[in-house]
Amino acid sequence: MSEEQDKPGGESQENPIEESVEDHKGGSKVIIIVIVLIIAVAGIVLSRQDGGGDIDTNTEPEAGDVIEKEEDTSVDGDTIEQGTVIDDGAGFEVDAEEAQLHEFTVTGKNFEFSMGEIKVKKGDTVTINFSSTDGFHDWVVDEFDAATERVNPGSDTSVIFVADKTGTFEYYCSVGTHRQLGMVGNLIVE
């Protein structure tokens, strides 16, 4: 008997097994092409993420990153370059004129700060050394994204920031309802 059988009406039919093999060969080619394309795209994406060691300047800083900002400022007609480091008290040095560095020691107790007012000039680098003498507290000023860690009595922490805008800004303790209970003060930037 031959591999082709006559159908009624004179048509011939191929072997169903051969048809199935031919269909799978075409499908396999498509699958292989798709896999090759996926590998190629993945290679391109990975090579762009690595960047050959270059720094990607279009990414946002992550928590814990050191943020550096350089500005040109004028002091008595002389232009100086100022580098500012915000480090949450990690101990980095700040490259700025001595006249522009201001360090304050603030303590917190239930429900007040030892300093109700802090005055600085616009552009000054401010260090707040904070400790608690009574209770669990911190020191926060939202407008400069500056906040110390929360500490118990006997512990201390620091935050460094640049007072880059003028005005009167409220600083406060963010623990529970301490702010509403009057644990606030004013940072005045002239």
- Determine contact, residues 117/185, Cβ cutoff 8 Å: yes
Domain at 67-189, CATH homologous superfamily: Cupredoxins -  blue copper proteins (2.60.40.420)
Give residue 25's pLDDT.
Answer: 61
Per-residue pLDDT reduced to its tens digit, 92-144: 555 555 558 999 999 999 999 999 999 999 999 999 999 999 999 999 999 99
More confident residue, 174 or 94: 174
Q: pLDDT category, 50, cuts 50, 70, 90?
A: low
Give residue 93's pLDDT.
Answer: 55
- Determine contact, residues 168/187, Cβ cutoff 8 Å: yes
Q: Is residue 184 predicted with pLDDT exceeding 70? A: yes
Rg, C-alpha atoms of the chain: 34
Give residue 90's pLDDT.
Answer: 52
Give residue 65's pLDDT.
Answer: 45
Instruction: In whole angstroms, give the CA distance from residue 124 to residue 98.
Output: 10
Instruction: In whole angstroms, give the CA distance from residue 108 to residue 64.
Output: 25
Would residue 76 be called left, alpha or beta, if left means φ above 0 and alpha means ψ between -120 and 50 degrees? left
Looking at every residue in the chain, the average pLDDT score rounds to: 74
Give me the half-sphere count of Cα atoms (radius 13 Å) on the Cβ side of residue 107: 10
Give residue 136's pLDDT.
Answer: 95
Average pLDDT over residues 61-67: 46
Per-residue pLDDT reduced to its tens digit, 16-47: 555 555 555 666 788 888 888 888 877 777 76
Give residue 29's pLDDT.
Answer: 80
Residue spans per domain, the chain: 5-53, 67-189
Give residue 34's pLDDT.
Answer: 81
